Amino acid sequence: MSERIAIAMSGGVDSSVAAAVLKQAGHALIGVTLKLQDCHDAHGSRSCCGVDGITRAREVAGDLGFPHYVLDCVQDFEKLVLAPAWREYAAGRTPSPCLSCNERVKFGVLLDWAARLGIPRVATGHYARLHRDEVGRPMLLRGRDADKDQSYFLAGLSSDQLERAMFPVGHLCKPEVRALAKDLGLPTAETPESQDACLVAPGESFAEMLRQRFSAPAQAGRIVDEGGRVVGEHQGFHVFTIGQRKGLPAGATVRRWVKDISATTGEVTVTSRMDELVRTTFTVKDVNWLAGELPRAPLSCGVQVRYRHKSEPATVVAGDNGELCVTLDQPVKAVTPGQAAVFYDGERTLGRGWIG
């Protein structure tokens, strides 16, 4: 059956092929490219303001024969993604802005905009799959391509959002997507991977970009070891994350990692002991749980504490105030406050929470 669908097009190969798949299935499509940054913001920065993506998306839509629009989300993106991300860095945590962007912009602002147009569904080029569970709830599964799986970034979508989402390339592997793009002669067939490069050129610090954007002062401070000994100075703790090795003063003989960041003292604590970095228990808050009620009894599942980490076996149980208490079977390195923890039952995404 033909449906009215808005396809979010970044100008990359994945969303282009997603659009082609939907078009071939006979749906009434509109392509939408989100404008996330003003061009004048990009002056003097090596990152692109997004015009390239808009141009490529428009070309693909033209080739495939459906209309394409640019949705200006500059203000929403700043308010819903960038400002909260900076607040996290300023508090000594490490945010996961891609999740916020999916939850609040792509499947927030865009979904609402499309709904007002009478277009009930929004598709993206994410590598994830949607099925239904035994009681008919939407079920978010990992993408079939394990290397490209993006379910982690989508795990914060509510059931209502998932009901209206479509991921047309989730059942494909990246080489198949590239091959399809080539077969269809799409101008984006050869575009390089753009993931995580949103707004930041390779080698630039996202945190530093945000600090400059919000004209916030850098909180310089001391770098101390586990024993409280000062081992160096830093120019701003926002550029550090738990488990980081780069940018630390060289130890006499030992390697050091960031163990803790204190926004109150401005101190960055380092350790030379890998076992100091691991955690076995933590709690997550603002939980989005896709499998019914939060588990009142301990539930065995997998937990992934960062994108591109593997899922670790754990037991979770509902705590106070909607929190979820997580106990890992084995200690895991660099469980970082501010990052998303995403829970899995095999391929199925159970939910996500923010690491406290």
Partner 1 sequence: MSQIYADYNATTPLDTEVRAAMDEALGASFGNPSSLHQAGQAARRLVDRARTQVAQLLGAAPDEIVFTSGGTEADNLAVLGVAGAAASGRRGIVTSAVEHKAVLDPCAYLREQGHAVAFLPVDRDGRVEAAALRAAATSEVALISLMLANNDTGTLQPVAEAVAAANTCGALVHTDAVQAAGKLPIDVKQLGVDLLSCSAHKLHGPKGIGALFVRRGVRLVSLAHGGRQERTLRPGTENVPGIVGFGKACELARARLPADSRRVAELRTRFESQVVAAVPGARINGGGLRLPNTANIGFSGLDGEAIVINLDMLGLAASTGAACSTADHAPSHVLLAMGQPKDEARSSVRFSFGRESSDEDIEHAVTLVVRAASILREARR
- Marked catalytic residue, from 39, 198, 301, 325: 198
Q: Measured from the CB atom, is 53 or 92 closer to partner 1? A: 53
**Which parts of this chain interact with partner 1 (CB under 8 A)?**
4, 28, 30, 32, 35, 65, 67, 69-73, 76, 109, 112-113, 115-119
Q: Is the dihedral of CA 107, 108, 114, 120 positive or negative?
A: positive
Per residue in 285-307, is it b (16+ CB within 10 Å) or e — as a string? Answer: eebbbbbeebbeeebebbbbbbb
Cβ at position 62, least distance to partner 1 in Å? 11
CA pair distance 181, 11, nearest whole angstrom: 12
* DSSP per-residue string spanning 44-97: T-SS--SHHHHHHHHHHHHHHT--EEEEE-HHHHIIIIIHHHHHHHHTT----H
Q: Measured from the CB atom, is 117 or 146 closer to partner 1? A: 117
Q: Measured from the CB atom, is 70 or 91 closer to partner 1? A: 70
CA–CA distances in Å: residue 337 to residues 36, 62, 268, 279: 26, 44, 14, 12
Number of C-alpha atoms within 13 angstroms, CB side, residue 265?
11
101 classed as catalytic: yes
Cβ at position 110, least distance to partner 1 in Å? 8
Q: Which of 69, 35, 31 is nearest to 52 (CA)?
A: 35
What letter represents residue 204's amino acid? E
Q: Measured from the CB atom, is 34 or 277 closer to partner 1? A: 34
Helices (H) and strands (E) counted in the chain, each on its own, are 10, 17
Q: Measured from the CB atom, is 114 or 341 closer to partner 1? A: 114
Cβ at position 71, least distance to partner 1 in Å? 5
Q: Is the dihedral of CA 270, 274, 276, 281 positive or negative?
A: positive
Q: Which of 103, 312, 82 is nearest to 216 (CA)?
A: 82
Catalytic residue ranges: 101, 198
